[in-house]
Amino acid sequence: MKALIVTADDFGTSRNVNEAIVRAFREGILTGASLVVGGPAFGHAVELAKANPGLSVGLHIVLVQGKSVLSHREIPGLVDRDNNFSNSPVLAGLRYFFSPSAVSEIRDEIKAQIEKFISTGLRLDFINGHLNIHVHPRVFDIIMELTRGLGTKNFRLPREELLFTLKCDRSRIFSKLFHSITFSILSRRCIGALEGNGFLFTDRVYGLLQSGDMNARYVTSLISDMPQGMNEVYFHPCIMPCAEYSRRMPDYHPEEELSVLTSRETSEVLRSNSIRLANYTALRKKD
């Protein structure tokens, strides 16, 4: 059996991102979206999600390169006076690991993000994080603590085979090597706790090593050779121009990704390879 969850991240970042996500769902292969509850277009995203109930929605936890839900007064060690997190994932990650005061504030902020999502009335189908911050050791442990008793038991575990990705696209080899090693180590650490807490996750996730450049050639190659099992692939579509997107992700190719998601050719490649589209709610039926 081959099944594929197709997700778009950063739902709520801007109205243009939101519109791209809904178009990819209505006209293409998209099955899910990761909601940024502190995003400038959060309310708009919630409205669109409720108008499109077939779209699976999860929480995209943001602790770097974005805005907090709590104020600077409440978490002064995490954000500036405009509620902006650090733009450096490396520096933020190191500080989150070694600073006890930062860990305490992270817990408060994640709790606030979960509560804000739940307040929308949307079903929380899965959890992941911006720049995969959700598998950071301190962040992950807090998520496990705060999600006890929640209905959601689906988690994005970023596991992507380096050699398979390089077979599809040989660009950015050293960057892909670094990210592959880093997130393989982090993800392996998570498996025991996820299973012990009843969480489900896909066999593989694609999008980390090719982030921002999920072009037609790469996606076609990925789908054509995709292994058996339940897999996820994630994108970052947007309708350009969009100042917020350009400021945060200037090197990404959002309109090309939207085109891939909505193209007839992509749908045909899925059909010809007998790959079934799914969302995270299908994980409980995986076995």
Instruction: Give all domains of the chain, ordered by start, each with its CATH number.
Output: 2-285 (3.20.20.370)
Q: Six-digit token pair at 23?
A: 């178009």
For the chain, the maximum distance between any two Cα atoms, rounded to a whole number of angstroms, is 55
pTM for the model stands at 0.96
| Euclidean distance between CA atoms 35 and 58, whole angstroms | 6
**CB-count exposure of residue 196 (10 Å: 0-12, 13-18, 19+):** exposed
Cα–Cα distance for residue pair 111/58, rounded to 1 Å: 15
Q: Which segments of the chain does DSSP mark as H helices, in order?
A: 15-27, 42-51, 89-98, 100-119, 137-146, 162-168, 173-196, 216-224, 243-248, 254-262, 264-272
Are 52 and 62 in contact by the 8 Å Cβ rule? The answer is: no
Quote the tokens at residue 36: 């940024």
Distances, alpha carbon 94 to alpha carbons 17, 68, 89, 133, 216, in Å = 30, 19, 9, 12, 36
Contact 280, 58 (CB under 8 A): yes
Give CA separation, 25 vs 139, 181, 205, in Å.
Answer: 30, 32, 19
Close Cβ partners of 32 (under 8 Å, ≥ 6 residues apart): 5, 6, 7, 8, 55, 56, 57, 58, 125, 126, 279, 280
CB-based contact 10:60 (threshold 8 Å): yes
Q: Tens-digit pLDDT profile for the chain (287 aa)? A: 899 999 999 999 999 999 999 999 999 999 999 999 999 999 999 999 999 999 999 999 999 999 999 999 999 999 999 999 999 999 999 999 999 999 999 999 999 999 999 999 999 999 999 999 999 999 999 999 999 988 889 999 999 999 999 999 999 999 999 999 999 999 999 999 999 999 999 999 999 999 999 999 999 999 999 999 999 999 999 999 999 999 999 999 999 999 999 999 999 999 999 999 999 999 976 54
